[in-house]
Each structure stands twice: as structure tokens, then as C-alpha cells.
A and B are shown apart, each in its own frame.
Chain A
């Protein structure tokens, strides 16, 4: 049962797992073997069937609907439309803008929170008094309900009349202080800042785990050989962190590409901040254009599959090392 005659990539670590698999003694041939196979498989089946039914079937349905000309307000006019919906999606300036917005939003939030998270992780990767407490404080933003965090930024911090940001400005600069209307003046940046604040702790946690898995002896050796702090960071720490950075970036991308709460709460998708999830939500929830929304959904899936393939590769390489260790 542990013979790895199969599959190249992820399946390849069946081999490493052999020691464990061997615990189940090599079964005799014949029907009892098959039965045994099903007995081993049985605990897996409920979860597997549940996932296929609840997550895969809707996507198939989306694919089917995407080929129909279907507006919920005119149900009797439903008809097969071929690729019309896709043409409409790709030709619609608003939808194309939302693709761009999604890309910009995701890239900015992921990169900024990675850089900030790296800085914080480096600060925390040393012993000082109250280190555990600081770590706990830093996680707090990530543990706020996303909608609550978005409301906090929108009303309590960004509000032009009595928000904390403008409050601090008038504190520091007196009566003539500039009082920008943050959300209207820089809507996308406002959404980005709120998201960066929430996602930096996530990146910090992953990178801190990466830092703490560094081989201490190599660093000690380098230090004895006279390497400076920057050299150690550049040639030892950063290469070691590479996969953790990739993992953080990819997992962050998966969640932020799908972000709905912040866009919905802070700008309601206005002022050029509508990303794909928000636009799809609106196309079907308010516009009742089922066919078009589905076509957009299919395109989002295709886009996500590209990111997902990369993400799976990174996770799989980390995973393979883990299994081997």
C-alpha cells in the first residue's frame, strides 16, 4: 500500500511516509485487500464527499450559468448566450477596472504588510523584557472582526471632522492644521491602510516562525568569521526566509484577492475601489445579471487558479521538507 508507483509532484512523499504506512501490515492479495483499502479509506469519505458537494458543484453551476443570458428581473427571457457574457465582462470598462483595482489592492497590501511584518519579526526575534506581551499586542489587530476593523478606520480614525487622524493633526499644528477627508481624497489608500494594519501581524507571525527556525550555528559561525549584521541578514537570514516570505505573500494574496468586508464597509465600492468580489456581488445582488456575474466569477476562478498553483507549489515544498525531517 505504500508503493509509490504513482504521481510525480505531491504524491512523491508517499515514500518518506513509508515508515508510518508500514504500521498497517502489508495486506495479502485478493478481495480482502480491496476490502482493507476501503476500510482505510472510509474515514476520509464523509469529508471528501461533503467538500465536493458543497464547494465543487456550485462552481460547475456557475460555469453553466455563465453561458446563459439570464437577468433575474426577466426570468422568462432566459436563453443560451454562448460566450456573450464573457464578451460583456471583458468589454465592460467597470469590470476591467475592478480587475485592475483587485490587482493593485492585493499587491500593495501584501507587499506593505510583508515589509512591515519582516521589520516587526526582526525586532521580536531577540529577547527583551515583555517580549511575549508585545507579540500579543501585535496580534490584536489581526484578531479584530474584519468588519469592526473597517468601521474603526472609517469612522473613528479617518472621519474628517472628529476622526483621530485629523484630531492629532489639529493637536500638533493648532487651528490652521490641514483636515483632509481621507476616505474621499484617497479612497483606495484608505482601504489599503486598514488592510495593511490587519495583515501585518499575520506576516509577522509567519516570518517570526521562519526566523526562529534559522540554524543558530551557521549564524554564530558567520559572526565569528567577522560577518556584520547586514551581511548576516543579506546572505543568511534572507535566503532562509525566502520560502516563508513566499508563503506569506501567497496566503495573504488568497485572502486579500477575496476581500469584501473592507471595500464594502469603508467605501461601499465607490470612488474606484470596487474590487472583483464586490463587483460580482453587486452585479448579481443589485443588478440581477446572473449570467454576467457568473462569467465574471469564472474568470476570477481562472485567475485564482494561477495564484493557487504557485501557492500549492510553495506549501508542497515546505511540506515535503517537513515530512522528510
Chain B
């Protein structure tokens, strides 16, 4: 349909009569092609640092640290090997496991809390349900750092310092408002008529939920879970202040494993990529609903 695909001899003008581009003069078509090219250049430019990171992670340390950069240096997996602890040390596994635990459990807890709440805010709304919704949102806008000290003192006095379950609770509170908002907007998309019809046929609440609501809302719920996972995985301020040796998460590990001695560029790139991989995967999987989630359901 676009100007670029029209490289085939004469796109039939009858195919898309109202579309001006199809029947457009050559200058317009050329302009469209130029703009498409510009979009490609911009996209590549933006992703260039990441591509460079991938390439650097596959070079040996000495090839990674040359100026001007060596593009054609031989590829090696040494950076990854070193990151995963071939050179001794515990390696990143405990930190990765901690991050996985904090992210997965907090996401599950978020779902358990947010699903009923979203139900009570959309399908069968309580009085003043919008006020409640906006209360949730307002908690998201208060800076985390302002509550950090009391949480630290609480953890210290109750022995919860350096405990992954504390992070699970905090990440839950961090993501719950987003999840409530997102799920509210997804559940609101379930047609009321559908629910009423099911009830008319004598379906009880569990049946309505599993047979009517769940199929419609499932993609949205999945996207919500992925976004909560991303935010938990990325978090660093809480993790840095509240964890130490035992419960250290991957982002904190990333900031501490650089040694001042020797070259570390390939290793850092490998580490950054490995640690970002779950987020990249989750983000691309949730791509279609990403906007809606990040704008708290305000933009579809």
C-alpha cells in the first residue's frame, strides 16, 4: 500500500481509490519514500548504542577498548563466560535468582490484590469508585525516596533487612496502583450485556468470571503482569538500600561487579545485556498494550 511497495509496476489505482498516495504524483511518492527512509535512519540511530553494546560484548577485552573502535575484531564469548563466573566467585546467579523471585512473587501478589479491586471498580463498581481509582494513582506520584528512611528503620528493627520478601512487599506497593488502573480499564471493556446475558441464563459469579470476563480481559491481564514484572526487575533504589549480601538483586549486582582494575568493557556489556534480556522479552511481548499500561490506562 505504501509508496515503497509501489515499486512494483503501477499499483492498480482502483485498489484504493480514496487513498491519495496510490494515485499520487511521483513527487509525493518520492517524499513518502524519503520520510520512510528517515524513519528507518532514526530507528537505527536510536538502537545503535544497543547494537554497539552487543558487538562489544562479543569482543575480547583488549579489542573492546581500542580507539578508533575495531569493528572486525574476532568474536568471542569470553565476556559472557567471565560474567557468569568462569573466573571464580559466586557469579551473578544468586542476584539473578533474587531478582526473579522479587519480580515474580510481587507480580503474583499484585494480581491477587488488583484483580478483585479492579472488579469492584469496573464490573460491579462501588460508590465513588473514581475517587478510589484516583487515590491509587496519587500514591504512585509520591516520590519513593521520601518513604525510604522509615521503611529502612522498620526493616532494621524487625530483622527484615537484606530479605527478599521485604522487596516483594515494596514492589507490590509500587506496582499495585498501575495494575489497578490497567485492569480497571481492561475489565471495563467486557460488555455489560454479555455479563447480564450469562446471569440471565443462571450462571453464578465464578462461572461468569471464568467463562465471560476472563477470556475478554486475559490479554490485558497478561500485559499488566508483564509491565509489573519489568518495573520490579528494574528497580534499584530500594534494592540498594535494603539489601546486602543475601538478597542483592541483579541491578545492584550490576553496579558492584565492576572492578577498578583492568579492562571490563566487554564484561559490562555482556552483563548489561544478560540482565536486560528478561525485560526486553517482557516488553516486546507486551508491546501492544505497553502504551495503555505506561499511561495508566489513559491512552488506548
CB within 8 Å of B: which residues of A?
A: 1, 6-7, 10-14, 17, 19-21, 23-24, 37, 40-44, 46-48, 50-51, 54-59, 61-62, 65, 119-120, 123-124, 126-131, 133-149, 151-153, 155-157, 159, 161-162, 164, 166-168, 170-171, 179, 197, 200-202, 205-206, 208-210, 213, 223, 244, 247, 251, 254, 257-258, 260-261, 264-265, 276-277, 280-281, 284-285, 290, 293-294, 297-298, 300-301, 304-305, 307-308, 311-312, 315-316, 318-319, 322
- A-B residue pairs in contact (CB < 8 Å), sample of 27: A14-B127, A14-B130, A20-B192, A58-B151, A120-B39, A126-B2, A128-B39, A129-B5, A134-B40, A136-B287, A137-B43, A137-B47, A143-B279, A144-B272, A145-B254, A145-B272, A147-B272, A148-B271, A152-B53, A157-B52, A258-B145, A297-B143, A305-B142, A308-B141, A312-B138, A319-B130, A322-B298
Choose from A24, A129, A140, A170 the contact partner of B4 (Cβ within 8 Å).
A129
State whether B40 touches A143 (Cβ < 8 A): no
Choose from A126, A277, A293, A294 the contact partner of B35 (Cβ within 8 Å).
A126
Q: In whole angstroms, what is the CA distance A283 to B4 when docked?
A: 58
Which B-chain residue is minimally distant from A213 (CB atoms)?
A: B300
Q: In whole angstroms, what is the CA distance A37 to B149 when docked?
A: 38
State whether A206 touches B295 (Cβ < 8 A): yes
Q: In whole angstroms, what is the CA distance A65 to B279 when docked?
A: 37
Choose from A124, A144, A157, A304 the contact partner of B276 (Cβ within 8 Å).
A144
Q: A217 CB to closest chain B CB, in angstroms?
A: 11
CB-contacts of B217-254 with A (<8 A): 230, 233-234, 236-237, 240-241, 250-251, 254
> Which chain A positions have C-beta within 8 A of B154?
58
B93 within 8 A of A: no
State whether A143 touches B280 (Cβ < 8 A): yes
A251 and B149 in contact, given A10-B131, A156-B53, A261-B236 (Cβ under 8 angstroms)? no
> Which chain A positions have C-beta within 8 A of B195?
23
> Which chain B positions have C-beta within 8 A of A159?
265
Q: In whole angstroms, what is the CA distance A260 to B143 when docked?
A: 11
B73 within 8 A of A: no
> Which chain A positions have C-beta within 8 A of B153?
61, 290
> Which chain B positions have C-beta within 8 A of A167?
66-69
> Which chain A positions have C-beta within 8 A of B4?
128-129
- How many chain B residues have a CB neighbour from A under 8 Å? 116
State whether B1 touches A14 (Cβ < 8 A): no
A50 and B284 in contact, given A10-B131, A162-B66 (Cβ under 8 angstroms)? no
> Which chain A positions have C-beta within 8 A of B3?
128
Q: B251 CB to closest chain A CB, in angstroms?
A: 4
Choose from A143, A298, A308, A322 the contact partner of B230 (Cβ within 8 Å).
A143
> Which chain B positions have C-beta within 8 A of A322?
185, 298, 300
A148 and B237 in contact, given A51-B177, A284-B149, A312-B138 (Cβ under 8 angstroms)? no
A17 and B295 in contact, given A124-B39, A145-B234, A254-B141 (Cβ under 8 angstroms)? no
Number of A-B contacts (CB under 8 A): 352
A294 and B265 in contact, given A51-B173, A202-B294 (Cβ under 8 angstroms)? no
B11 within 8 A of A: no
Which B-chain residue is minimally distant from A154 (CB atoms)?
A: B268
Q: In whole angstroms, what is the CA distance A54 to B192 when docked?
A: 34
> Which chain B positions have C-beta within 8 A of A136?
284, 287
Q: In whole angstroms, what is the CA distance A120 to B42 when docked?
A: 8
Q: B134 CB to closest chain A CB, in angstroms?
A: 5
State whether A10 touches B268 (Cβ < 8 A): no
A210 and B150 in contact, given A152-B53, A152-B272 (Cβ under 8 angstroms)? no
B48-63: contact bitstring with A at CB < 8 Å (1 yes, 0 no)? 0110110010000000
Q: A193 CB to closest chain B CB, in angstroms?
A: 11
B203 within 8 A of A: no
State whether A206 touches B65 (Cβ < 8 A): no
Choose from A17, A43, A260, A284 the contact partner of B236 (Cβ within 8 Å).
A260
State whether B299 touches A128 (Cβ < 8 A): no
State whether B255 touches A147 (Cβ < 8 A): yes
State whether A54 touches B53 (Cβ < 8 A): no
> Which chain A positions have C-beta within 8 A of B40?
128, 130, 134
Given contacts A43-B119, A157-B49, A167-B69, 17 further A-B contacts (CB under 8 A): A41-B120, A47-B180, A51-B136, A62-B147, A119-B42, A146-B236, A148-B275, A151-B254, A151-B258, A166-B67, A170-B68, A254-B141, A281-B148, A281-B241, A284-B148, A312-B134, A318-B298
Choose from B20, B53, B136, B299 the contact partner of A206 (Cβ within 8 Å).
B299
B124 within 8 A of A: yes
> Which chain B positions have C-beta within 8 A of A153?
49
CB-contacts of B1-58 with A (<8 A): 1-5, 20, 32-33, 35-36, 38-40, 42-44, 46-47, 49-50, 52-53, 56
A129 and B36 in contact, given A152-B269, A251-B295 (Cβ under 8 angstroms)? yes
State whether B143 touches A300 (Cβ < 8 A): yes
A145 and B134 in contact, given A61-B150, A123-B38, A171-B69 (Cβ under 8 angstroms)? no
State whether B146 touches A300 (Cβ < 8 A): yes
> Which chain A positions have C-beta within 8 A of B196?
23
> Which chain A positions have C-beta within 8 A of B214?
none
State whether B128 touches A50 (Cβ < 8 A): no
A134 and B192 in contact, given A47-B180, A48-B117, A143-B280 (Cβ under 8 angstroms)? no
Which B-chain residue is minimally distant from A60 (CB atoms)?
A: B150
B108 within 8 A of A: no
